[in-house]
Amino acid sequence: MAKLWGGRFDGQNESWIDAFGASISFDQKMAAQDIKGSLAHVSMLAHTGIITAAEADKISAGLNSLQEKLAQKNLEFTVENEDIHMNLEAYLAAEIGPTAGKLHTARSRNDQVATDMHLYLKDVVAQLIPKIQHFRDVLVEKASENVHTIMPGYTHMQHAQPLSFAHHLLAYYEMLTRDQTRFTENLQRIDVMPLGSAALAGTTFPIDRFFTAEKLGFSQVYNNSLDAVSDRDFILEFLSNSAILMMHLSRFCEELILWCSHEFQFVELTDSFSTGSSIMPQKKNPDMAELIRGKTGRVYGNLFGLLTVMKGLPLAYNKDFQEDKEGMFDTAETILTSLDIMAGMIDTMKINKEQMAKATESDFSNATELADYLASHGVPFREAHEIVGKLVLSCLKRGIYLQDVSLSEYQQIQDVIGPDIYEKLSSYNAVKNRHSYGGTGFSQVEEQVKAAQVQLQKE
Ligand code: ARG
């Protein structure tokens, strides 16, 4: 088959080599964006008098008909036409004849493909932001129901101090809020139009890039044509933001997996987010949480893949760039679905409040309470720490907890200790009394829930 760029070539291309060079198997995901870009370009060509209004009408009608066929899944793409740009141009020629050849005036596939990717990521981020918001909503809703749910807080995976479960959920709300901000900021770099840079140096035709940008809904155009066709920072930023987002989701998933285990039994995921075992009839596995944790690996891989492709590439376009797409598509699809799964999983999970609270009752996570009690009665904190450390050691030897130590023993250790120590040692009170800003105290957490609700309302 004759190539659109075949004029300079004598020899026949071999199909297996064509297949190696082709990107149509994946870049057809941007068919709608490609047609949109062409429609804007063609109306600019008419607006500036580069082609006639009649020609523009004919080309636009052809493009609109391709748009319809695409929506009805009536377009079949071929490897011979290499990529989405040439496949669509070939279809346009079949549809309207030689006038189709005028569409590529003052344009190159280099600025065209970059424009398609900017449009594609704009669409992805537009779907992404509401999904992040929905997940944040679910977190805040769950938090509002669990302000008084007590759980062990961990450092080094060891019981550290008791927490309000809502506080734990709101920590993820904060992470997701930062993620959302990062993607919103990313949008500033995505929302820039490369079209009109042509191959690398601009064009001799009197084009109007600002007209095209307005048609396409871009708020800016690239200032430098070389940068425009060879910039992939906006994709790297998207991949990097996605990697951070997935890192957050995978940390949460890791906790869910632990919490579902027989040892913890803090939560139970609903059947729809769990799977069974083909051999062990009793199993209910948190597969979806494990998969999100696993998919984080491919999202990191996509970031490192593109960073490595870009490293050392000279200006301007190089075919290496064709390798920028699959990772971008894969990451976009992965994060969009992972957010849906996460929101559904958290929204429907059963929280075993008693089990969580129980886990804070037979441990030493109230040791800080005793040290703080001493310190607030005038014992220097370092000394208090030493006293409590020794007492914990002695309790461990005797198989008892701090709440089991008698008042007379306490008073022998330090005469400032009164009978009010026992209420201070309860995990509920340990949480309640942490009033410091950003701490786990109920009053603080209630404030944080309210602030989050107001924030979500505002968005
Ligand atoms: N399929 C190509 C890509 O994805 C489109 C641009 C081709 N440009 C070129 N000069 N060969 O990068």
Tell me: do 227 and 297 sit in the same domain: yes
Please state the φ and ψ torsions of residue 77, each to the nearest 5 degrees: -95, 150
Shortest-distance atom of ligand 1 to CA 317: 10
Tell me: do 149 and 256 sit in the same domain: yes
CATH number of the domain encompassing residue 33: 1.10.275.10
Please enumerate in sequence order all residues whose Cβ is within 8 A of that of 7, keeping only pairs 6 or more positions apart, or say none: none
CA of 344 to the centre of ligand 1 (A): 39
Tell me: do 27 and 147 sit in the same domain: no
From the CB of 427, is ligand 1 less than 6 Å away? Answer: no
Is 59:104 a contact under the CB 8 Å cutoff? no
Residues 260-316: pLDDT tens digits?
A: 999 999 999 998 888 887 877 787 899 999 999 999 999 999 999 999 999 999 999
13: pLDDT strictly greater than 90:
no
Q: Nearest 5 degrees, angle CA 364-CA 378-CA 397?
A: 25
Here the tokens at position 65 are 């008909």
Its sign, for the CA torsion 52, 53, 54, 55, is positive
CA of 7 to the centre of ligand 1 (A): 18
From the CB of 321, is ligand 1 less than 6 Å away? Answer: yes
Residues 172-187: pLDDT tens digits?
A: 999 999 999 999 999 9
CA of 322 to the centre of ligand 1 (A): 6
Catalytic-role residue among 15, 219, 272, 277: 277
Is 39:63 a contact under the CB 8 Å cutoff? yes
Query: Which of 105, 131, 154 corresponds to the end of one domain?
Result: 105
- What per-residue confidence (pLDDT) applies to 1? 63
Does any domain span residue 413? yes
Does any domain span residue 205? no
- What per-residue confidence (pLDDT) applies to 314? 98
Residue bearing the CA closest to ligand 1, atom 2: 322
ipTM strictly over 0.95? yes
CB count, 10 Å around CB of 386? 13
Shortest-distance atom of ligand 1 to CA 23: 1
| 262 belongs to the catalytic site | no
Here the tokens at position 175 are 């992470």
- What per-residue confidence (pLDDT) applies to 4? 78
Q: What is the average per-residue pLDDT within 161-167?
A: 98
Query: Which of 41, 72, 105 corresponds to the end of one domain?
Result: 105
CA of 311 to the centre of ligand 1 (A): 18
Q: Which of 58, 31, 60 is CA-nearest to residue 43? A: 60
Does any domain span residue 120? yes
Q: What is the average per-residue pLDDT within 434-445?
A: 97
Please enumerate in sequence order all residues whose Cβ is within 8 A of that of 435, keeping only pairs 6 or more positions apart, or say none: 441, 443, 444
Confidence of residue 131 (pLDDT cuts 50, 70, 90): very high
pTM: 0.96
Tell me: do 256 and 403 sit in the same domain: no
Residue bearing the CA closest to ligand 1, atom 3: 322
Does any domain span residue 9? no
Residue bearing the CA closest to ligand 1, atom 10: 110
From the CB of 322, is ligand 1 less than 6 Å away? Answer: yes
Distance between CA 326 and CA 302 in Å, rounded?
Answer: 8
Is 139:344 a contact under the CB 8 Å cutoff? no
Tell me: do 180 and 278 sit in the same domain: yes
Confidence of residue 17 (pLDDT cuts 50, 70, 90): very high
Tell me: do 99 and 244 sit in the same domain: no
Does any domain span residue 144? yes
Q: What is the average per-residue pLDDT within 215-222?
A: 98
Here the tokens at position 227 are 């940068």
2: pLDDT strictly greater than 80:
no
Task: Domain count for the chain, please give it.
Answer: 3
14: pLDDT strictly greater than 90:
no
Tell me: do 73 and 160 sit in the same domain: no
Please state the φ and ψ torsions of residue 154, each to the nearest 5 degrees: -120, 145
Which residue range(s) make up the domain with 151? 115-199+223-356
Average pLDDT score over the chain: 96
Distance between CA 387 and CA 391 in Å, rounded?
Answer: 6
Residues 332-387: pLDDT tens digits?
A: 999 999 999 999 999 999 999 999 999 999 999 999 999 999 999 999 999 999 99
Q: What is the average per-residue pLDDT within 192-218?
A: 98
Confidence of residue 232 (pLDDT cuts 50, 70, 90): very high
Does any domain span residue 13? no
CATH number of the domain encompassing residue 162: 1.20.200.10
Tell me: do 235 and 328 sit in the same domain: yes
Tell me: do 347 and 227 sit in the same domain: yes
From the CB of 115, is ligand 1 less than 6 Å away? Answer: no
From the CB of 107, is ligand 1 less than 6 Å away? Answer: no
CA of 217 to the centre of ligand 1 (A): 24
| Beta-strand pair 150-155/192-193 | unpaired
Distance between CA 16 and CA 124 in Å, rounded?
Answer: 33
Catalytic-role residue among 156, 406, 408, 436: 156
Query: Which of 46, 74, 105 corresponds to the end of one domain?
Result: 105
Tell me: do 233 and 333 sit in the same domain: yes
CATH number of the domain encompassing residue 414: 1.10.40.30
Determine the residue of 319, 324, 325, 326 to mutate for testing ligand 1's pocket, defined as the one with the most ligand atoms within 8 A of the Cβ atom: 319
Tell me: do 237 and 341 sit in the same domain: yes
| 43 belongs to the catalytic site | no
Tell me: do 179 and 141 sit in the same domain: yes
Confidence of residue 147 (pLDDT cuts 50, 70, 90): very high
CB count, 10 Å around CB of 413? 17
Does any domain span residue 71? yes
- What per-residue confidence (pLDDT) applies to 281? 79
> Percentage of the chain with pLDDT > 90?
93
Does any domain span residue 414? yes
10: pLDDT strictly greater than 90:
no
From the CB of 113, is ligand 1 less than 6 Å away? Answer: yes
- What per-residue confidence (pLDDT) applies to 97? 98
Three-state secondary structure string covering the chain: CCCCCHHHCCCCCCHHHHHHHCCHHHHHHHHHHHHHHHHHHHHHHHHCCCCCHHHHHHHHHHHHHHHHHHHCCCCCCCHHHCCHHHHHHHHHHHHHHHHHHHCCCCCCHHHHHHHHHHHHHHHHHHHHHHHHHHHHHHHHHHHHHCCCCEEEEEECCEEEEEEEHHHHHHHHHHHHHHHHHHHHHHHHHHCEECCCCCCCCCCCCCCCHHHHHHHHCCCEECCCHHHHHHCCHHHHHHHHHHHHHHHHHHHHHHHHHHHCCCCCCCEECCHHHCECCCCCCCCCECHHHHHHHHHHHHHHHHHHHHHHHHCCCCCCCCHHHHHHHHHHHHHHHHHHHHHHHHHHHHHHCEECHHHHHHCCCCCCCCHHHHHHHHHHCCCCHHHHHHHHHHHHHHHHHHCCCHHHCCHHHHHHHCCCCCCCHHHHHCHHHHHHCCCCCCCCCHHHHHHHHHHHHHHHHHC
Q: What is the average per-residue pLDDT within 448-452?
A: 98
CA of 28 to the centre of ligand 1 (A): 13
